[in-house]
Amino acid sequence: MIRIYGTILAGLLGLAFGSFLNVCLSRWPQGESVVRPRSHCRSCGRTLACWENLPVLSWIALRGRCRTCKAGIGWRYTAVELAVGLLWALTTWRVLPAVFSPDVSLTEGPLVFLYTSGLDIALGRLILYWALIALGVLDAEHLWLPNWITLTGIGLGISLNCAHLVLADWIAEGSSIGLPGTIAVSLLAVSIPALASAGLILLIRWVYWLIRRREGIGLGDAKLMAMLGAWLGLSGALLSFGIGVVMGAFFALVALAVPAARRDSETWLAAKLPLGTFLCVGGIVSALWGQPIIDAYLRWAGF
């Protein structure tokens, strides 16, 4: 029962954070404050009533249009709210049994509890999903992967995973190199995958430039890959990249096949295919089901 209530609560919280993210996604590109003024219609400027600000429900009640000026409210608003809500609910659904398991108790201190229940990883994932949805939408709408999200994401991913490794070592009491040594080794263990992931993108970027003499992949994508490497490890980042590239190729083929889009589509695709968006989707899939996918692949490949 606690599992169901906890999941619903996390889902509702996710909807609220998704709703706030929508405000950020509309205002960051314009350089506006996300706190003031209050939520307003982006077409006629009317300040929204409380009930018009409810995630998902308002959009359905208003049938996707502003009450006064009838301007359409993009489906992105509802999609972002649902995505954050569902991902937060799913993460909570998965972690709650371990949190309330009899093997895990608070008697050994909050840090041991966080580690053994897996709550530290789960809480981190909530932040990761929020950031990846933010980056995915910004890249799709503005071809923009802001440094302050990717770089903060890299720093946060490295710190959290490093803390996780240090805790593991501390709980196992297996360390012979002392705390500073453990921290240094853990820091290396999580930084190297991040660097390698970014290196892959930089290598592709360089090869592309050698062949075509123009920029193919942006530096923002390299920082995004470093972020995925910091959070998900090298295999997780590579899986995200694989999923992202396949999705991007599929999207490009569909765009080329649709007659209306074919006009200028080659230049459009070359200039505007948001690789970052596909990487973000790949990152979310990889964070949710990375291990089963990698295991299945290794079995299939005969390892």
Stretch that binds Zn ion, among 61-69, 119-127, 182-190, 263-271 (CB under 5 A): 61-69
> Distances in Å between the alpha carbon of 62 and those of 23, 65, 70, 125?
18, 6, 9, 32
151 binds Zn ion (CB under 5 A): no
Stretch that binds Zn ion, among 17-25, 63-71, 130-138, 253-261 (CB under 5 A): 63-71
Decide if 200 contacts 241 (C-beta within 8 A): yes
Give the shortest CB-72-to-Zn ion separation in angstroms: 10
66 binds Zn ion (CB under 5 A): yes
Give the shortest CB-49-to-Zn ion separation in angstroms: 12
Q: What is the CA radius of gyration of the chain?
A: 22
Among 49, 69, 106, 184, binds Zn ion (CB under 5 A): 69
Tokens describing residue 156: 């946060």
Give the shortest CB-67-to-Zn ion separation in angstroms: 7
* Site map 171..210 versus Zn ion, x via CB under 5 A: ----------------------------------------
> Of 60 and 69, which CB lies nearer to Zn ion in the complex structure?
69
> Of 68 and 105, which CB lies nearer to Zn ion in the complex structure?
68
Give the shortest CB-45-to-Zn ion separation in angstroms: 7
* Site map 27..46 versus Zn ion, x via CB under 5 A: --------------x-xx--
Stretch that binds Zn ion, among 65-73, 238-246, 283-291, 295-303 (CB under 5 A): 65-73
Give the shortest CB-17-to-Zn ion separation in angstroms: 25
159 binds Zn ion (CB under 5 A): no
49 binds Zn ion (CB under 5 A): no
* Site map 234..253 versus Zn ion, x via CB under 5 A: --------------------
Give the shortest CB-47-to-Zn ion separation in angstroms: 10
> Of 65 and 94, which CB lies nearer to Zn ion in the complex structure?
65
Q: HEC states along the chain?
A: CHHHHHHHHHHHHHHHHHHHHHHHHHHHHHCCCCCCCCCECCCCCCECCHHHHCCCHHHHHCCCECCCCCCECCHHHHHHHHHHHHHHHHHHHHHHHHHCCCCCCHHHCHHHHHHHHCHHHHHHHHHHHHHHHHHHHHHHHHCCCCHHHHHHHHHHHHHHHHHHHHHHHHHHCCCCCHHHHHHHHHHHHHHHHHHHHHHHHHHHHHHHHHHHCCCCCCHHHHHHHHHHHHHHHHHHHHHHHHHHHHHHHHHHHHHHHCHHHHCCHHHHHHHHCCHHHHHHHHHHHHHHHHHHHHHHHHHHHCC
Tokens describing residue 288: 């949710």
> Of 39 and 43, which CB lies nearer to Zn ion in the complex structure?
43
* Contact set with Zn ion (CB under 5 A): 41, 43-44, 66, 69, 71
